[in-house]
Amino acid sequence: MLLFFKKNKKIQSNKLKILSGYNFRYRSIGEKSEKNIIKYANYFNFDYEFEKKNKFERHFYWLKIKMLIDNLENGSHKYYLWLDADTFFCRYENILNHIDKSKHIHVHNNFFKSIHKTRYKFVNYLTWAPNVGVLLVRNTDWSLKFFKNVWNKRKYLKHFWPDNAAFMDEIGLKAEISKISDNYMSKDVIQNVSFLSGIWNSMPKRNFQNPKNDEVSNFYFDPVIIHLAGIRRRDRLKFIREYKNLFI
């Protein structure tokens, strides 16, 4: 039986620590992502921690929220970068050189073909929806309170976007989990949250090999991070095999 364990790297720098994790079911992709992330971390002398376990108190997607809270409460790093276990670095860019350091949380806000329908033929709503597969978080009390609030939104425990929906609720971009008119960001959130360029969370279409598919694309030219979000596991592996030359 394959055992899973927490893997910590000896602290080298307090600038940034990368967090990620996966379970046994996801190991075929997670192990490849882990190796890629470690190459990036070593290049910039960043710390990292991978949580590998089969049992978690909630849906495994919530692991990112718990790891961020634990590190914000007990860690000494200035920043924490959460990366889903299907993310891959494509080039060596220091993310800390590309952000507004006065902000507390950095996330990519991607295009989304809305679930809400218009009354017009051949017309669709296109909304914004933050994707929490890549999250850069400054170690502050504001960040800690924010993610504790996300964790406490238990009404999303069985949502099809569990952790992501809770994050969207807390940030105020709720159009895709509520009414189309429910997007409202408070002044506090606007002052403290920044949106990353799409090159930091570049997502191929689910049907990336079908040119006729009308899915909205969130894939960016010359990305820093490719994120295989929403793609079936076998197709993720196919993408990794066929486009591994894109990765560091």
- Does residue 100 belong to any structural domain of this protein? yes
**Per-residue confidence (pLDDT) for residue 4, from 0 to 100:** 56
**Per-residue confidence (pLDDT) for residue 103, from 0 to 100:** 98
Q: Which domain holds residue 36?
A: 6-108+131-169+189-246
Report pLDDT digits (tens) over 49-81: 999 998 999 999 999 999 999 999 998 999 999
In contact, 70 and 159? CB cutoff 8 Å? no
**Per-residue confidence (pLDDT) for residue 1, from 0 to 100:** 43
- Does residue 125 belong to any structural domain of this protein? no
DSSP 91-147: S---GGGSS-TT-SEEEEEEEEEEEEEPSSTT-EEEEEEEEEEEEEEE-SHHHHHHH
- Does residue 117 belong to any structural domain of this protein? no
- How many structural domains compose the chain? 1
- Does residue 181 belong to any structural domain of this protein? no
**Per-residue confidence (pLDDT) for residue 112, from 0 to 100:** 84
- Does residue 225 belong to any structural domain of this protein? yes
Report pLDDT digits (tens) over 157-189: 999 999 999 999 999 999 999 999 999 999 999
- Does residue 85 belong to any structural domain of this protein? yes
Tally Cβ neighbours within 10 Å of residue 221: 7
- Does residue 227 belong to any structural domain of this protein? yes
- Does residue 204 belong to any structural domain of this protein? yes
**Per-residue confidence (pLDDT) for residue 213, from 0 to 100:** 72
The CATH number of residue 235's host domain is 3.90.550.10
- pTM, rounded to two decimals: 0.94
pLDDT-flagged residues of the chain (< 50): 1-2
